[in-house]
Amino acid sequence: MYGNVDRIEESKEAETGALREEFDRLVADEQRIEPRDWMPEGYRKTLIRQIAQHAHSEIIGMQPEGNWITRAPSLRRKAILIAKVQDEAGHGLYLYSAAETLGVDREDLLDQLHSGRQKYSSIFNYPTLTWADMGAIGWLVDGAAIMNQVPLCRCSYGPYGRAMVRICKEESFHQRQGFEILHTISHGSAAQHDMAQDAVNRFWWPALMMFGPPDADSPHSAQSTAWGIKRFSNDELRQRFVDMCVDQARVLGLQLPDPDLRWNAEREHYDFGAIDWSELNRVIKGDGPCNADRMARRVEAHEEGAWVREAANAYAAKHSRAAEVAA
Amino acid sequence: MTGPAQRGTGEPVSEPNVPTAGSKGWPLWEVFVRARRGLSHQHVGSLHAPDAAMALRNARDVYTRRGEGVSIWVVPAAAITASSPDEKDPFFDPALDKAYRHPTFYDVPEGVSHL
């Protein structure tokens, strides 16, 4: 963990001293902050919270899709879905690895997830009711995630940016496979088309909420921007996402469920309807359709995996003893 | 550097003899991947594993799902000794005061080629 925690405690006065100046200079020059560099305590805490929440989201995000692996409509779709869910696990691991460079322990992060002290993206608290939801998640949820994540590749904190580069490369497969699923179903029978439309109806608004509260209600954004963690505002990214989806929806032959959606020639953007932020707040507070299920499943998986971890430890201990005896 | 146990790196840490204590789970391994023949191994991240064999297998699954490598090294994070950022300037200073190490230091007369 590069000793950052210690260094910070030893040098509180450094907040305004030479170390602080060096940190500010690096950020202003678009250089990267690396793990053993001095950094303000707030920067470190913000990153830990953000990266951990991001990692938790990847891990919890395996559940809504894992739900359909056994019921995928063909072997091709099943193989793809398994690979995608495996990627989500990998993304979680890249991110936990990045978070640990800030002096936290992976086990502690998991404890905080399991006890509800750290959050994950509220989008994963919605159920996946039909196969078409696999398409809507890939197209809309992964699409929104990519929109959020591409700027993070240039995040001022080196390990986070590097993890995001890997993740973004892999996410584009996720988005395309979702689009392909929806395109196929949408152009199938009338019942299949309706199923695709229903999935988009249910995921559209929660996907828009993934960009976070409106800029006016996002108190930490200014500081994150000043630190080079955040590159674009929530509303900017949300607008880009809407603009991108309108044309894609046309190709899919599906409607976006917003009667107020229309081109604004003056702004050169699509106007869209008001988002129900009370819904987001409700889901974040724990009152979404699947919050309890997701957490119960996660804790259960962790507890039921305990014997595997113990067995691996016992095996490693036995073989290191054998190696000592042989030497 | 006086720090507690080094863990959770993305880069080398100091104090090689400090175990990865503090972690209640498996020790931390740094992962290096050779992308293809002719290139050196490059650091790609870290992971936890109970022993070297499992670390290698986990590294394959986490870091090379799309043919990103032809060879993997895993190194216990606690076994890496690193320079400290605090001594960065004096530590690397001698490299900067010998301009004559660089070819651009020398005047080459007009008309001389292949030099």
* First-to-final CA distance of chain B: 45
Selecting from A37, A101, A163 the residue whose C-beta is nearest the C-beta of B9 gives: A101
CA distance linking residue A178 with residue A134, whole number of Å? 6
* A102–B contact, CB cutoff 8 A: yes
According to DSSP, the β-strands at A269-271 and B42-48 are: unpaired
Indicate if the pLDDT at residue A176 is higher than 80: yes
pLDDT at B82: 87
Q: Is a pLDDT exceeding 50 seen at residue B45? A: yes
Stretch A45-65: mean pLDDT, rounded?
A: 96
CB-CB under 8 Å, B25 with A106: yes
Taking a C-beta distance cutoff of 8 angstroms, is the pair A142, A203 a contact? no
Give the pLDDT mean for A155-170: 95
Q: What is the pLDDT of residue B14?
A: 42
Q: What is the pLDDT of residue B108?
A: 92
Cβ–Cβ below 8 Å for A105 and B7: yes
Contact list in A for residue B27 (CB cut-off 8 A) is none
Predicted confidence (pLDDT) at residue B72 exceeds the cutoff of 50: yes
- With an 8 Å Cβ cutoff, are A105 and B13 in contact? no
| Partner B contacted by A99 (CB < 8 A) | yes
Instruction: Say what percent of chain A tops pLDDT 70.
Output: 95
DSSP category for residue B95: G
For residue A43, give how far its alpha carbon lies from the nearest alpha carbon of chain B (Å): 17
- pTM of the full structure: 0.88
Name the more confident of A200 and B8. A200
Task: Provide the pLDDT for residue B87.
Answer: 62
Which of A5-14, A45-54, A57-66 shows the lowest mean pLDDT across its residues?
A5-14
Q: For the beta carbon of residue A212, count every other beta carbon within 10 angstroms.
A: 18
> Pick from A73, A6, A45: which is nearest to A227 by CA?
A45
Angle of helix A234-252 relative to helix A190-209, nearest 10 degrees, comes to 170
Mean per-residue pLDDT for B17-33? Answer: 69
- Say how far apart CA B82 and CA B93 lie, in whole Å: 17
pLDDT at B24: 61
With CB atoms and an 8 Å threshold, state whether A6 touches B85. no
Per-residue pLDDT band for A16 (boundaries 50, 70, 90) equals: low
Residue A163 contacts B, CB cutoff 8 Å: yes
Interface test with A, best of B1, B6, B7 (most A CBs within 10 A): B7
Please tell me the distance from the alpha carbon of residue A124 to that of residue A105, in angstroms, as a whole number: 24
What 3 state SS string does chain A have? CCCHHHHHHHCHHHHHCHHHHHHHHHHHCCCCECCCCCCCHHHHHHHHHHHHHHHHHHHHCHHHHHCCHHHCCCHHHHHHHHHHHHHHHHHHHHHHHHHHCCCCCHHHHHHHHHCCCCCCCHHHHCCCCCCHHHHHHHHHHHHHHHHHHHHHHHCCEHHHHHHHHHHHHHHHHHHHHHHHHHHHHHCCCHHHHHHHHHHHHHHHHHHHHCCCCCHHHCCCHHHHHHCCCCCCCHHHHHHHHHHHHHHHHHHHCCCCCCCCCEEECCCCEEECCCCCHHHHHHHHHHHCCCHHHHHHHHHHHHHHCHHHHHHHHHHHHHHHHHHHHHC
Contact B62 A94 (CB under 8 A): yes
Backbone angles phi, psi at B60, to 5 degrees: -60, -45
- Domains present along chain B, CATH in parentheses: 28-101 (3.10.20.520)
Confidence of residue B15 (pLDDT cuts 50, 70, 90): very low
DSSP three-state, residue B58:
helix
pLDDT digits (tens, 9 = 90+) for A245-259: 999 999 999 999 999
Sign of CA dihedral A254, A255, A261, A264: positive
CB proximity A243 to B under 8 Å: no
Q: State yes or no: pLDDT of B7 exceeds 50.
A: no
Q: How many CB pairs below 8 Å do chains A and B form together?
A: 104
- Tens-digit pLDDT profile for residues B77-108: 999 998 877 666 777 777 778 888 888 999 99
A103 interfaces chain B, CB cutoff of 8 Å? yes
Q: What angle is formed at CA A106 by the lines to CA A9 and CA A322, rounded to 5 degrees?
A: 110
User: What confidence score (pLDDT) does residue A15 get?
Assistant: 61
Q: Chain B: nearest CA to A222, how far in angstroms?
A: 28
Total residues found in chain A within this entry: 327
- Structure confidence at residue A230 as a pLDDT band (50, 70, 90): very high
- CB pair distance less than 8 Å for B9 and A86: no
Q: How many CB atoms lie within 10 A of CB B62?
A: 22
Judged against a pLDDT cut of 90, whether residue A141 lies above it is answered with yes
Contact A136, A64 (CB under 8 A): no
Work out the average pLDDT over B49-68: 94
Return the residue of B nearest to A311 by Cα.
Answer: B50
pLDDT above 80 (res A13): no
Model confidence at B17: pLDDT above 50: no
pLDDT at A66: 96
Nearest in space to A192 (alpha carbons), one of A182, A200, A201: A182
Contact A26, A125 (CB under 8 A): no
Is B8 a residue whose pLDDT tops 90? no
- Please enumerate residues of B whose Cβ is less than 8 A from a Cβ of A: 1-11, 13-14, 22-26, 28, 45-51, 54, 61-62, 65-66, 82, 84-86
C-alpha to C-alpha distance for B7 and B26, rounded to whole angstroms? 11
State the average pLDDT for chain B.
80
Q: Do B62 and A316 touch (CB under 8 A)?
A: no
Q: What is the mean pLDDT of residues B45-63?
A: 94
pLDDT-based confidence at B13, cuts 50/70/90? very low
The CA distances from residue A12 to A27, B10, B99, in Å, are 20, 25, 38
Interface membership of A149 toward B (CB under 8 Å):
no
Q: Answer yes or no: do B47 and A97 touch at CB < 8 A.
A: yes
Q: How confident is the model at residue A36 (pLDDT cuts 50, 70, 90)?
A: confident
Task: Between B8 and A114, name the one with better pLDDT.
Answer: A114
Q: Which residue of B has its CA nearest to A169?
A: B66
